[in-house]
Amino acid sequence: MDFDLTDEQSLLKDSVTRWAASRYGSLEQVEAARRKPLGFDEGAWAQLAELGLLGLPFAEEDGGFGGGPVETLIAVEALGRHLAPEPYLASVVLGGGALRLAGSAAQREALIPGIAEGSHRLALAHGERQARYDRFDVATTARRDGGGWRLDGAKCVVLNADAAQTLVVSARTAGGRRGADGISLFLVPADAPGLTLKPYPTQDGGRAADLLLEGVALPADALLGEADAGLPVIERVLDEGIAALSAEAVGVMEALHALTVDYLKTRKQFGTAIGGFQALQHRAVDMFVALEQARSMALYATMMASSADAAERGPAVSAAKVQVNRAARFVGQEAVQLHGGIGMTLEYLGAHLFRRLTAIEYLFGDTPHHLRRVSDAGGLLGAA
């Protein structure tokens, strides 16, 4: 297959790469942004809007730029390479993905222009403490209340929830807690009475929050998509999120591999650069091979994530996540080993890249979970 970028995609890659390199060319710049109240710089978010990245995946008629999954891959990989802390995954890919797939014309018209211009952010609130990685396990309830809805329950580890003006919340409107049917999605204002956010920093330097919903009253038009039919939307949004996360992991691994090779060239032992030792050269090559395998699978996930056929899409995306997880762990651990003690110090960029790869390994499902998902589906469709 031809994986060459079009002229427009090449321009996008150059533009995002230049911006990320200038904005976050050093660990000090990344840390300065993370110390902001929301964990990122609002000025940088506005610059992403000016570059057109915030409206990238949305249709032009909705106020976006009509980009596809490849364009998202290009953007997220470049941002990951420089540890850009902006909530692009949370707002544009996850929350924005739910709106793009399930939103009515009125909902898209009301929210997407603000997302594209940087004045409005979303977050997807789906995971719950008892669910682990089971996407269908939803205990939060939504019941009809007059002409509207009333939500009760809790959500955990909602990425960048404290930076969002609107939360896309999943809640059960019918059936039992672990039923595949009966899950709905709702647009919940972040300042809605009865909604409590408990934000906190994550281990990789990002931000997340736990949510408590106590009698949150919503109008009828807060329902996103069809009632009781939210799980297929959630499945596709999370699969698109895994594809984007895989691309980010490739960017992070690429940066960590380059940092490690540079260290091998400059660190001296016994009067010579340690990169001259053949055993260490072999280990650096093994890191590169793992990186390129992950890159191939990230491309595969990107191609499959937009498929409406869940039976085809799910196992393919899970297979990609397995390979990316394994590569992330291998590249991260090898980098630490080759650096020695400095590889784990928070004053060194490599440690922050390693921490992000570790977080990516567990986000949206760890390796055993996705292996099980592929196995339960009988393997990849069309595989020999």
CA 154, CA 125: separation in Å to the nearest integer?
A: 9
Q: Which of 38, 46, 167 is nearest to 95 (CA)?
A: 167
List the beta bridge partners of residue 154.
212
Q: Which of 153, 147, 170 is nearest to 219 (CA)?
A: 147
Q: Which of 212, 217, 215 is nearest to 188 (CA)?
A: 217
pLDDT at position 306: 86
Amino acid of residue 351: A
Residue 340 DSSP code: G
Half-sphere exposure (Cβ direction) of 296: Cα atoms closer than 13 Å? 9
- Do residues 132 and 157 lie in contact, with contact meaning Cβ atoms separated by under 8 Å? no
pLDDT at position 277: 85
DSSP three-state, residue 201: strand
Cβ atoms within 10 A of the Cβ of 84, count?
25
pLDDT at position 196: 98
Q: What is the pLDDT of residues 122-152, one digit of tens each?
A: 999 999 999 999 999 999 999 999 999 999 9
- Do residues 34 and 205 lie in contact, with contact meaning Cβ atoms separated by under 8 Å? yes
Average confidence score pLDDT of the chain = 94
**Two tokens, residue 253:** 């691994």
pLDDT at position 377: 86
CA 365, CA 316: separation in Å to the nearest integer?
A: 14
pLDDT at position 384: 34
Query: In which residue ranges of the chain is pLDDT below 50?
Result: 382-384
**Two tokens, residue 237:** 């949004």
Question: What are the phi and psi torsion angles at 131 (to 5°)?
Answer: -80, -25
CA of 320: how far to CAs of 119, 167, 188, 301, 367, in Å?
Answer: 34, 28, 32, 6, 10
Residue given tokens 């018209």 in the structure block:
109
CA 198, CA 354: separation in Å to the nearest integer?
A: 26
CA 238, CA 231: separation in Å to the nearest integer?
A: 10
pLDDT at position 382: 46
End-to-end CA separation in angstroms for the chain: 18
**Two tokens, residue 63:** 């106020």
Radius of gyration of the chain from its Cα atoms, rounded to whole angstroms: 21
Please, is 231 exposed, middle or buried when counting C-beta atoms within 10 Å of its C-beta (0-12, 13-18, 19+)? buried
**Helices in the chain by DSSP H: which ranges?**
7-23, 27-34, 42-50, 69-81, 88, 96-102, 105-117, 231-266, 278-305, 310-339, 349-362, 367-376
Interhelix angle for 349-362 vs 231-266, to 10°? 150
- Non-local (6+) Cβ contacts of 186 within 8 A are 142, 149, 151, 168, 169, 170, 171, 218, 222, 223, 224
